[in-house]
């Protein structure tokens, strides 16, 4: 068996400079997706007429179309309709694509989390003279956020790995660099194994962070 | 003072309140009694618009609304004049006992935090919640403690009246008396109270006046002792016999 552990150690420093690109896509997309997902969830939860139907269509479309197709539509398709968009970078397109897609998943997670908060919390807030916005901001959304945390973490973990398809837009993130290195050294197994392990370490670190956050936010709910 | 006139409320085809008039004077303690499903809780929840009445007028001090057309602003103004104590306590789960009492002052009324904290500590001490318990989250408190915190929370906003919706019904029997003692204390200070309750002895003892509701209508009302000890109407008599378990 021809496996070169020394090569693996050598390839790691070559890959790591591209890690920030991967993290940038994942983190920025996630932040935008959380914001958009929350707006969609609140629209759906409050059943705001017209907007609710638009939100439902949005969620259905972005959950129903493959990620790769969405990315191609945005990066290669939109500039055809709107020539001004032809200056859009692959990074921007990737972030837009991932944000829009993950928002559709998060909207459903957030909606369920909002529904899981006891209605008594809402009534108690109103009955003590707070406005609806105050009640949502102070009690409903924070409690829903705690309930939504495990499922939201899953979305982030899956997004972190899915950023690897951004190479199809010609964006050099860590996986794209691995492909470049492997095709010149012909050490495919070692290179892809190293890049796989880098993703794995990121997920492990993130999972640890999330666990700590759950512990912290969970203080209020533990007997 | 609270004045509700010709309140009607239906859930679908089921008429729950069929034109109820209710008047509660300042400093008065009014008990609302009646069988399950009689509409007494719905009446209470209409007073602060947690349920939207289909028709009728509600006036609390200088705030007045007329159903069915009530704006968010009017609803908020009316609600700000009362506070409510719920059967299920409904303390804010993500806030400590102390924060639960501070929040309505700080968030709802823009009272400075220091001032709100001092008042919250004072109110919690008054309902018998120790300083160490004040730092705890609701989930760690007993039902009796939670309900006493919720009474402190209701007092925090200096409401014109406190609406209590079966405040002891969810409590274990041995915890009922500690909550009733706090309510008795409020009554003795002439805080306006409207209590929906199944505690007949307590109502007879603490309330000034009692309203008996059945089928969405007021069947009988009057001074508390008189109604509970010498009911006039057949339905009131039957209800009290069942409730008190007397022969």
CA distance A178 to A13: 11
Name the DSSP class of A87: G
Number of folded domains in chain A?
1
As given in the structure block, the two tokens for residue A138 are 């102070």
| Alpha-carbon distances, residue A5 vs A10, A131, A189 (angstroms) | 9, 63, 11
Q: What integer pLDDT is reported at residue B246 of this predicted model?
A: 55
Q: Which residues of A touch B44 (CB under 8 A)?
A: none
With CB atoms and an 8 Å threshold, state whether B108 touches A118.
Answer: no
* Interface residue B157 vs chain A (CB under 8 A): yes
Closest-CA residue to A179 (of A160, A162, A194): A194
Q: What integer pLDDT is reported at residue B157 of this predicted model?
A: 92
Closest-CA residue to B156 (of B114, B197, B207, B121): B121
With CB atoms and an 8 Å threshold, state whether A143 touches B107.
Answer: no
CA distance A30 to A11: 29
ipTM attached to this prediction: 0.91
Q: What integer pLDDT is reported at residue A2 of this predicted model?
A: 81
Instruction: Note the pTM of the prediction, 2 decimals.
Output: 0.88
Q: Which of A120, A129, A222 sits opposite B86 (nearest CB)?
A: A120
What is the domain extent for residue A116? Answer: 20-171
* A84 domain-assigned: yes
CA distance B109 to B103: 9
Q: Which residues of A touch B137 (CB under 8 A)?
A: 219-221
Name the DSSP class of A168: G
The model's confidence at residue A21, banded by pLDDT at 50, 70 and 90, is very high
* Interface residue B60 vs chain A (CB under 8 A): no
Could you read off the pLDDT of B172-210 as tens digits, one per residue? 888 898 999 999 989 888 899 999 999 888 898 899 999
* A217 domain-assigned: no
B9 near B17, Cβ under 8 Å?
Answer: yes
Q: What integer pLDDT is reported at residue B107 of this predicted model?
A: 94
Domain annotation for chain B: domains and CATH numbers: 1-81+160-246 (3.40.50.300), 89-158 (no CATH)
The model's confidence at residue B145, banded by pLDDT at 50, 70 and 90, is very high
* A92 domain-assigned: yes
Phi, psi for B211 (deg, rounded to 5): -115, 125
* A137 domain-assigned: yes
Task: Quote the minimal CA–CA distance from A84 to chain B in Å.
Answer: 44
Question: Does A223 score more than 90 pLDDT?
Answer: no
> Is the N-terminal amide bond of A69 cis, ω within 30° of 0?
no
CA distance B202 to A15: 76
Starting at the earlier edge strand, list the strands of the sheet with B55-60: B14-24, B2-11, B55-60, B63-67
Q: What integer pLDDT is reported at residue A85 of this predicted model?
A: 87
* Interface residue B207 vs chain A (CB under 8 A): no
Of all residues in chain A, the percent with pLDDT exceeding 90 is: 88
* A14 domain-assigned: no
Number of inter-chain CB pairs under 8 A, A vs B: 78
CATH number at residue A25: 1.10.3720.10
* A162 domain-assigned: yes
């Amino acid at each position: 068996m021809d496996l070169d552990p020394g090569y693996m150690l050598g390839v790691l420093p070559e890959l790591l400079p591209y890690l920030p690109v991967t993290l940038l896509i994942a983190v920025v997309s996630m932040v935008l997706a959380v914001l958009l997902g929350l707006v969609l969830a609140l629209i759906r939860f409050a059943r705001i007429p017209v907007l609710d139907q638009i939100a439902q269509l949005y969620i259905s479309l972005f959950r129903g179309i493959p990620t790769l197709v969405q990315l191609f539509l945005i990066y290669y398709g939109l500039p055809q309709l709107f020539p001004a968009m032809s200056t859009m970078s692959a990074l921007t397109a990737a972030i837009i694509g991932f944000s829009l897609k993950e928002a559709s998943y998060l909207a459903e997670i957030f909606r369920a989390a909002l529904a899981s908060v006891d209605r008594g919390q809402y009534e108690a807030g109103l009955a003590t003279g707070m406005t609806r916005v105050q009640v949502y901001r102070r009690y409903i959304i924070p409690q829903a956020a705690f309930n939504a945390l495990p499922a939201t973490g899953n979305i982030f973990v899956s997004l972190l790995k899915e950023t690897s398809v951004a190479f199809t837009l010609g964006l050099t993130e860590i996986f794209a660099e691995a492909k470049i290195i492997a095709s010149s050294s012909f050490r495919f197994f070692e290179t892809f194994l190293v890049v796989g392990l880098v993703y794995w370490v990121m997920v492990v670190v993130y999972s640890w962070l999330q666990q700590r956050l759950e512990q912290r936010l969970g203080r209020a709910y533990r007997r | 003072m609270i004045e509700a006139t010709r309140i009607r409320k239906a859930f679908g085809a089921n008429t729950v309140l069929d034109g109820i008039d209710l008047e509660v004077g300042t400093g008065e303690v009014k008990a609302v009694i009646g069988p399950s499903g009689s509409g007494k809780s719905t009446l209470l929840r209409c007073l602060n618009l947690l349920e939207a009445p289909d028709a009728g007028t509600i006036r609390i001090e200088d705030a007045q609304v007329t159903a069915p057309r009530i704006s968010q602003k009017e609803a908020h103004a009316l609600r700000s004049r009362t506070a409510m104590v719920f059967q299920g306590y409904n303390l804010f789960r993500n806030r400590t006992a102390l924060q639960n009492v501070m929040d309505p002052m700080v968030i709802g009324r823009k009272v400075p935090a220091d001032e709100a904290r001092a008042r919250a500590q004072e109110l919690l001490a008054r309902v018998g919640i120790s300083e160490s318990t004040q730092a705890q989250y609701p989930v760690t408190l007993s039902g009796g403690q939670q309900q006493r915190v919720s009474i402190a929370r209701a007092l925090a906003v200096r409401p014109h009246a406190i609406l209590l919706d079966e405040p002891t019904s969810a409590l274990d029997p041995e915890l009922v008396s500690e909550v009733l003692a706090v309510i008795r204390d409020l009554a003795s200070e002439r805080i306006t109270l409207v209590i929906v309750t199944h505690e007949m002895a307590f109502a007879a003892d603490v309330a000034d006046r009692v309203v008996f509701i059945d089928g969405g209508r007021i069947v009988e009302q009057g001074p508390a002792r008189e109604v509970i000890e010498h009911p006039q109407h057949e339905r009131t008599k039957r209800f009290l016999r069942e409730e008190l378990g007397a022969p």
